[in-house]
Amino acid sequence: MTGTRIENNMWTCYLFALFLAVAGFAIYDIFHRRVPNKALVCFLVAAALVTVIRIYFILEYSQPYLVWYVLLESMLGAVLGFAIPLAAAMVTGGSGIGGGDIKFCGVLGLVYGPSGMALIFLVAAGLAMPAILMLRRLFRDTLPVTIPFVPFLACGCFVATLAQLF
């Protein structure tokens, strides 16, 4: 058989379920322009299970020396996922990215790690910049224009999830 092998395993199902949760956050952010803290705590628990599942797979294949790598990757992804949007918010004086988006990116970092977060930020910024420029052009009289950022992060998560599966 040629091509990319797609298995019906627990990891694929779990990534799909997490992506559905991210899509739910995106829809909520579109309508309400906020990321609810209570839902974010539940998502944090689900995201932390990613590390546990990856450690389970590592121990199942008798490679315990990789456990520290998985823990470090998850923690570094969470720190970078939180720190980069926080720095962007501080540079813009609070008029840029919101606090809920910052916390949401930190939780996403647990799932995708530093390389996945770099891909998510790249896709999200690449899609958000033309959208905000178009909105500013259309609504010049009613500045400032704000947009919900979680839908763009969801697009980045979609790309990062596909990158992990293939």
Cis-peptide into 36, omega within 30 deg: no
* Domain span holding position 100: 10-165
pLDDT at 19: 94
Does 147 reside within a domain? yes
pTM equals: 0.89
- Whether residue 5 lies inside any domain: the answer is no
Tell me the CA end-to-end span of the chain in Å, nearest whole number: 16
Whether the CA torsion 61, 66, 71, 77 is positive or negative: it is negative
The answer as to whether 64 is a domain residue is yes
Whether 115 maps to a domain, the answer reads yes
Domain presence at residue 118: yes
Predicted local confidence at residue 94, as pLDDT: 72
Q: Give the chain's domain count.
A: 1
Looking at residues 84-111, what average pLDDT do you find? 91
In a domain, 2, yes or no: no
Structure confidence by residue, pLDDT tens digits, 131-142: 988 888 888 777
* Domain-located, residue 88: yes
| 3 found inside a domain | no
The Cα 113–Cα 63 span in angstroms is 20
